[in-house]
Structure 1
Amino acid sequence: MNDHQFLDAYFDRIGYSGPRIPSIDLLHNITLAHVRCIPFENLDILLGKSINISLDSVFEKLIIQKRGGYCFEQNGLLLHVLQKLGFDVIPISARVRLDKPRDFTPPRTHVFLRVEHSGKTWFTDVGVGGVSLTSPIQFIQNTEQTTNHETRRIVYEGNRYFHQVLFPNGWADVCEFTLEEMPEIDRELANWYTSDHPKSHFKDRLIVARAGEDGKRFTLVNREYSERNKNVIASKTIINSPKELINVLKEKFNLSFPTNTEFRTPGLQWDL
């Protein structure tokens, strides 16, 4: 498959038909379309399958099979898309800090993308679940930046940068980073930990998320399905059966599985 066919298939998957000349507008459009159409999910891990992050495997899963994935798949795919479009882009390593206190050190098992354009540095991240970026943000410190969804900022504390999101109760850390590049071998090692290590948090819970229109977010964590608007006011529904779970995956995230599919994780407890 040549680059033109690759990009045609990707843009068809995310529903984008505009110009392909590298620009910040294009980066904005791709980021939003990607997180609206390709859900974040860890379902293969719960089916006992290995996560292969080679480009061929990611393309087959996310584009051909119309599945989703997590950061090494999502941002790995976007990395190749942006490179083929002619963007100056590199993968950056990070530690996810959502719901983690500052005195806790999570593993460095996240990757996002740094894009250089017109003398400015931008970040995009389509692989951090329910807070994936829907607009790229500029690498400037202590400045609030609006996106298609939540307000973001970058702060520097203790020799580390923190990407933060503004929730109604204040600023929350999304991830921390040092601008260190994450080469392919490091992504492979971190992916192995994330998908196979028994202490990986992707082993003990089901997670699916995607962005919607008008600032909406759709998130499924184990049996709890939630929808929240741009002001982070959420409505929550408890899923009561495996069949209902399969229906939610299809109706809300366009993910199709046979009705007898069993996702094996301690986070799913059915009272049947």
Structure 2
Amino acid sequence: MTWDIEKLDLDAYLRRIGYDGSRTPTAETLRAVHLAHVRAIPFENLDVLLGKGVSLDLGSMQDKLVTGGRGGYCHEHNLLFAAALERLGFLVTRHLARIRLGRHHLPRSHAMLTVVARGRTWLADVGFGGEGLVEPLPFEEGASLASGEWRWRLGRDGQFWVLHSGETELYAFRPDEPQLPSDFEVANYYVSTHPQSPFTRHLLAQRTTADARVRLEGVRLTTAEELVGWLRAELGIEITRPDAETLLPLLPD
């Protein structure tokens, strides 16, 4: 596996996220493209639960998330986003982080980025789901960000940098650890196949709007037709009735 950023149809990607602004690699462009991506492309794990697997080949990710109208999880979102940023002229480093959410010493399974724009480094992450970032955060100890009622902060824990959402530690990572394409292949395989991975046990689907996280949690759906309709109306995702029948027992409580 290589990054293969030349495979990306940048114009198609920018149309997908509804972005028609400046393509100059500034902090303002980074923020606008980050925000547009988060609001346009949903977070979901349907293909894992349907046994279709998750490919990190850029052409496959583009077919799924850009032209296919689907969403994905962190590896798909952030590797696609990284390619778009590099095509726009940003300096991007791909990282693997350790999810915390009340736990420590978990494997490096979450994909995220640091991005340099005009000499300043930013933490960028369009693929966390949950309470993840909607905009990039300065990669500086103590940096904070507010968007409506949502709050994030970047701190340190020994050698690790830790992203907080409110009082919750989302994940920790070390920027000095080299990350190769093969590392992402291994992490992606674990996330999409391991029986203890949350992505192999429950249907996760979320769309972020300007002031809300639209999620499946707490939504009462009892038939395949209702699931098909909810995904279409709330996330813009089209699935077949047979796929919905497979997914229905895996809805979150």
TM-score, length basis structure 2 = 0.91
1:186 paired residue number: 183
> Per the alignment, do residues 266 and 241 of structure 1 end up closer, same or farther by CA in structure 2, a change over 3 Å counting?
closer
Secondary structure class of the residue paired with 1:129: coil
Task: Find runs of 4+ consecutive structure 1 residues off by over 6 angstroms.
Answer: none
Secondary structure class of the residue paired with 2:200: coil
Q: 1:113-262 counterparts in 2 under 5 A?
A: 113-147=113-147, 150-166=150-166, 171-179=167-175, 180-213=177-210, 215-221=211-217, 224=218, 237-261=219-243, 262=245
Higher helix share: 2
For 1:257, the aligned partner's letter is I
2:83 paired residue number: 80
Deviation at 1:53, TM superposition (A): 0.6
For 2:215, the aligned partner's letter is T
For 2:41, the aligned partner's letter is I
Q: Which runs of 5+ in 2 are unaligned?
A: none
For 1:111, the aligned partner's letter is A
The 8 Å contact of residues 31 and 133 in structure 1, kept in 2 or not, is answered as no
What is the CA–CA distance in structure 2 between the aligned matches of 1:257 and 1:203, rounded to whole Å? 18
> Per the alignment, do residues 268 and 90 of structure 1 end up closer, same or farther by CA in structure 2, a change over 3 Å counting?
same
The 8 Å contact of residues 93 and 111 in structure 1, kept in 2 or not, is answered as yes
Secondary structure class of the residue paired with 1:8: helix
> Alignment RMSD, CA only?
2.3
Deviation at 1:120, TM superposition (A): 1.6
> Per the alignment, do residues 209 and 181 of structure 1 end up closer, same or farther by CA in structure 2, a change over 3 Å counting?
farther
What is the CA–CA distance in structure 2 between the aligned matches of 1:150 and 1:65, rounded to whole Å? 30
What is the CA–CA distance in structure 2 between the aligned matches of 1:126 and 1:105, rounded to whole Å? 23
> Per the alignment, do residues 70 and 5 of structure 1 end up closer, same or farther by CA in structure 2, a change over 3 Å counting?
closer
What is the CA–CA distance in structure 1 between the aligned matches of 2:117 and 2:18, rounded to whole Å? 24
Q: What's the CA shift string for 1:24-74, capped at 9, x where partnerless?
A: 111111111101110010000111111111101001111111100011100
What is the CA–CA distance in structure 2 between the aligned matches of 1:38 and 1:133, rounded to whole Å? 14
The 8 Å contact of residues 71 and 110 in structure 1, kept in 2 or not, is answered as yes
Indicate whether 1:31 and 2:28 are aligned. Answer: no
Identity score, percent? 36
Secondary structure class of the residue paired with 2:48: helix
For 2:172, the aligned partner's letter is E
What is the CA–CA distance in structure 2 between the aligned matches of 1:31 and 1:206, rounded to whole Å? 25
Aligned partner (choices 55, 59, 62) of residue 62 of structure 2: 59
Deviation at 1:182, TM superposition (A): 2.2
The 8 Å contact of residues 130 and 210 in structure 1, kept in 2 or not, is answered as no
For 1:145, the aligned partner's letter is L
The 8 Å contact of residues 82 and 89 in structure 1, kept in 2 or not, is answered as yes
What is the CA–CA distance in structure 2 between the aligned matches of 1:92 and 1:172, rounded to whole Å? 20
TM-score, length basis structure 1 = 0.85
Indicate whether 1:13 and 2:16 are aligned. Answer: yes
Q: Which runs of 5+ in 1 are unaligned?
A: 225-236
